[in-house]
Amino acid sequence: MLAMARSARASIERELINHNSAPTSEQDLTYAKVSANTHNGELSNKIEIHYRCLFSENKDGFATQKYIRINGSPKRSSDLIGTLNAVLFTVDDLDIVFGNPSVRRRYLDILISQIDKHYLDALKSYQESNRHRNHLLRSIREGVSSQDELQFWDDQLALHGCEIIKTRMEVVNRLSELLKPFHMQFDTDKESLQLLYRPTIPMSEENPTTSSIVLALEKSRAKDIAQGSTSVGPHRDDMSVLINQNDASRYASRGQARTAVLALKLAESTYLKERRGSEPLLLLDDLLSELDTTRRRQIMEHVTQYQQCIVTAAELDSVPNLFVSAANNLLVDNGKITPA
């Protein structure tokens, strides 16, 4: 939450609220704060996210408000992203292999946005331009607007889309290099693992250009008008995970996919360290229960080399005893946190 200004689980702020603590009248107020002091070399920041829950006439009876502050100054979510770098491991990460392309795009967007403000700005501008273009496409389909009006939004999509695709391709290529030693360590069958970026824009050259994107948009106009949505561009791109040159989403077992995701996440942590010059915070959310004893030991040996790592486990037996004895252990029982 402190790294990305949003929960990894809840899709909207309202889902964070314990309904038993929600206000029942306009006089009631529920409040919470999540905060941390971050240190990166000589740079220190105090991050705060304030939540207020107000009585409302809507179906759930409450509304939420969120305020972000860095060193006491009000900030937007985009200002917060990148202040604290974190890598989250969770059993849901198998969706990176088996999920739909939007899951893999979101994974890349979250990773890159933590280290590249220009990318985050380009992504937001692209998404806004795409919304306008889609609205115009539906208006053209209904006979209200002219196709000539598409040129402006095509140019905007090409401008921002070109930067997005180039950056994603660079990051995917680097991750593909970094994950190989980790995969060799975890994979007893010594299979090959590779990542490939799959753009929807046909490219004759290695990298996209604004002209190639504009040309692709022009060629897809008839289809886009009929559908009322833009069919090509980075919002439709994908990343392939290949095991022995085969698409893992089709052919990988859960064990193979789990090993691939572990290697990818450790490559992600290494990449963040490369780019920021400091280690990210590692978060292992009930991951070890899904791994065999050998992989539990391997991953714990690696992550304990980092300055900070937070591991959650429903069963303490899933964490090797050596690491339990060296850790600061906390027990969460019915919402109360006590030393264990």
Phi, psi of 59, rounded to the nearest 5 degrees: -65, -30
CATH number at residue 103: 1.20.1050.90
* Same domain for 102 and 40: no
In a domain, 86, yes or no: no
- Written as one string, the DSSP assignment of 4-71 is TSS-SS-SSGGGGS-GGGS-SSTT-EEEEEEEEEEEETTEEEEEEEEEEEEE-SSTTSEEEEEEEEET
pTM for the model = 0.86
In a domain, 85, yes or no: no
Nearest-Å Rg of the Cα atoms of the chain is 23
In a domain, 2, yes or no: no
Boundary (domain end) residue, out of 77, 103, 128 = 77
| Residue 215 exposure: Cα atoms within 13 Å on the Cβ side | 9
* Same domain for 106 and 37: no
Boundary (domain end) residue, out of 219, 234, 266 = 266
pLDDT value of residue 61: 78
pLDDT value of residue 204: 65
Q: Which residue's structure tokens are 């791109």?
A: 237
In a domain, 7, yes or no: no
Query: With a cut of 70, which residues of the chain have pLDDT below it?
Result: 59, 204-205
Q: In this structure, what token pair is assigned to residue 132?
A: 């306008």
Among the listed residues 136, 132, 156, 123, the one whose alpha carbon sits nearest the alpha carbon of residue 235: 123
> How many beta carbons lie within 10 A of that of residue 100, not counting itself?
10
In a domain, 89, yes or no: no
**Domain range for 318:** 277-340
How far is Cα 197 from Cα 212, in angstroms, rounded to an integer? 17
Among the listed residues 110, 121, 120, 118, the one whose alpha carbon sits nearest the alpha carbon of residue 265: 110
pLDDT value of residue 97: 96
- Please give the tally of structural domains in the chain: 3
Boundary (domain end) residue, out of 25, 47, 77 = 77
